[in-house]
Amino acid sequence: MAHRSPVSAWVDQFGQTGGEHKGARLSFAAVLRKWGITVAAVMALFTVCVVAGSAAAQQPTFPSIPPTVPSIDFPIPKPGPTGTVKPPVIDPIPPTGGPSKPPGAVQPILPGSVNIQLKVERDGSLTVREQVIVRAKQRMVRVAPLRVGDRVFTVRNAKVEGNGTVDVTADTLTVRLDGGASTVLYTVDGTIDDLGDRQEFRWQPVSGWDTKLTLVRVSLLTPRPGRDFVCLAGRPGTEDTCQSALTDSGVLRVSQSDLDSGSRVDLSAKLPAGLVPANARYEKAASTAFAVTPLSGTGLGLVGLLLLGGFVFLWRARERDAKMLAAEVGPVELVVNDGGKVTFASPDGVLPGQAGALLAERADHRKLAATVVDLAVRNYLWVTESSGDWQIVRRNAADDALTDYERVVYRTLLPEDTESVTLSSLRTSPLDVTAARTAIHADAVSRGWFTRTPGGLGRLGLVGAAVLAVGVVGSVVLSLTGGPALLAVAVGLCGLGLLIGARFVPVRTQRGSALAQQVRGVAAFLASVGPESVPSEREVVFSRSLPYAVALDAAERWLTGFGPVDLAGVHWYASQDPDLGADQREFATRLTPFLGALGQAFGATEKH
C-alpha cells in the first residue's frame, strides 16, 4: 500500500463521510486553480502603483519667485463677493494672430509700461493701483483731466510709492515719475452713474501721459459681474477699440500696446441697478469752459501784449502824421517858367479833387466842385452863364485820359444821353454824389495815400471783424462742448481790439502824409501869388490853379488876388450877358456865385 499524505487522507475521509458531495469537492479545487492566478496579478499591480505613487510624492518642487523682486504680472484684483460664476466670454473678439500669453503668465519688464488695477468698492468709490515702469534717467508725466464734457470726477487719497509725486486739483490729476518702478495709489469718486434700470461705470485709467506707452494692462473688478463692456483707445474723441478686452469670471482685462502720448483708454460697463451707491456728478460745460487754465491764461496774456503793441503802434502813427502836418512848409509853385514859357505842374501829379481829399481826409462838395471846374479847364466841359443861372455843357466825352473818379464825377453830372444841365435844375433834383465820393476815396487808397476809405474799416478792420466773429462762434461752441472757451474769448478780444483800433489808424499813409505836406505848400502858394508874380500867360495860370483853390478852400483869396482877368483868355467860361462881356473886370467876382451854386449842387444830398 502506497504511502499517502495526511491531506490526501483527510480528503478521502471527507469524501467518505459525504460521498454525495464528492463532485463539489472536485469543482472547488478547480476554482481555486482558476482564480488564484488572477488574484495574484491584481495584488502585484496594486503593489507597483503604491510604490510608484510613493516615489512621485518624494519629487522636489519648483522654487517660488523671491518676494523682493517687483512683480509686473498682469494685475488681477483680489476676488470680491462670490456669486453666480458666468463662463468666460470675449468682448470684443480679440485680434487675430499668433497665440498670446495667458493673462496670468509672467510678463517681461518693459520700460514705459503701465499696469493698472481698478476695483469698484461697495460704497461706489473706485480704488486705483497703477504700477508704472519708467526708463532709467528719464521722467514720465501724466496730466489727466478730471472733467470730461459735463462729467466731473474727484480724486482723493493720492500717493506715490517710489520715485515720484502726485498732485490733485479740481481739474487735473498730475503724476510725475522718475526712473524705475513706482506705484500710484488713489481713489476716484464719480465713476458710477444711475440710469434707472441699470448703472454705468466709466473711467479713463490712461490719459494725459507725455510719453508713448509701450504696454498698458488694466483689470476691472466690480462687486457683481458687469456686461456690455466698452473699451476705447487712442486720441480723445476717436472710437477705436482696444486691442484686447477679455472678461473672465466677471473680471475685465484689457491689453493695449504702443499707445501714443496724449492718448487715452476709456472704459465703460453696465452694472446691475442698485449695485452700489451712484456718485456721478455733472456740471454744465459752460461753468468750466471759462475757467482760467494754463492754455486760456496764455492766450489772454498774448492778447494783452498784442493790444499793448497795437496801442503803441497807433500812438506812434498818429504822432507821425500830426508832426508832418504841423511842420513848417514853404510855398510849392504850380507853375514852372521854362525859358519864358509858363507850364503847370502839381506835386506828384496830384489832381485838385485828390489834393483836397488828401488834406481834409474826406471828399466833400468842394472837392467834387473843384473836379468839375478842372474838367472844364481841360476842355471836357463848358460853362455858360445866363440870367443868374449857369449851364454846364458836354464839350468832349470822358476818355481814358481821365482817372476813374473823374469819369464817375463826369457821369454823375452828365449821365448818358444828357448833353447839358443847369445848376437851377440840380437844386430841384439833387445829385447823388455817393458814388463820386467813394470813387475819390478808392483812388487815394489805390495810390497808397490812404490806408482805408475814410469812415470805413479798411483791411485791418476787416481782419478784426473776421477774428471777432471766429472768437464769438468759438466761444459759443466751446462753452457747449466744455472746451477752453476762455481761449476763444481771448481771440474775440483780439479781433475787437483790431476792429476798434482800425478806426483810429491814421487815414493817410506815410506817403500820403508826405504828399499832404506838399499840398499844404500848394495852399501857401495860392495864398501868396498874384498877377504881378506871373507876368506872362496869367490867364492860363489863373484857370489851371483855380480848381486847386476851390478844393483847398482858397477860391475867394485867389479870385480877389488876381482881380480883373481878360475874359477872352478864359476859354471854358462864357456869358450871354452883354454887360458882363463888356466889363471884363467883373468876371472874377462873377465866379464866386457860380462856385457857390456848384457846391450846393454837390452838397445838397451829401451825408457827413
Rounded CA separation 441/74 (Å): 77
pLDDT band at 597 (very low <50, low <70, confident <90, very high): confident
Res 120: pLDDT: 97
pLDDT band at 376 (very low <50, low <70, confident <90, very high): very high
Rounded CA separation 594/539 (Å): 18
Contact criterion met (CB below 8 Å) for 553 and 526: no
Indicate the average pLDDT of the chain. 78
Least confident of 121-125, 131-135, 486-490, 599-603: 599-603
Q: Determine the average pLDDT of the residues in 456-484.
A: 87
More confident residue, 554 or 24: 554
- Ordered structural domains, the chain, with CATH: 89-96+103-283 (2.60.40), 347-397+509-608 (no CATH)
In three-state form (DSSP H/G/I as H, E/B as E, the rest C), the secondary structure along 571-590 is CCEEECCHHHHHCHHHHHHH
The answer to whether residue 340 scores a pLDDT higher than 90 is no
The residue to which cell 492778447 is assigned:
303
* Per-residue pLDDT reduced to its tens digit, 396-441: 999 999 999 999 999 999 998 889 999 999 888 888 889 999 999 9
The answer to whether residue 275 scores a pLDDT higher than 90 is yes
In the numeric block, which cell numbers belong to residue 531?
498877377
Res 130: pLDDT: 97
Contact criterion met (CB below 8 Å) for 327 and 517: yes
In three-state form (DSSP H/G/I as H, E/B as E, the rest C), the secondary structure along 66-117 is CCCCCCCCCCCCCCCCCCCCCCCEECCCCCCCCCCCCCCCCCCCCCCEEEEE
* Per-residue pLDDT reduced to its tens digit, 530-564: 666 665 666 777 788 889 989 998 888 877 776 65
Least confident of 382-386, 466-470, 536-540: 536-540
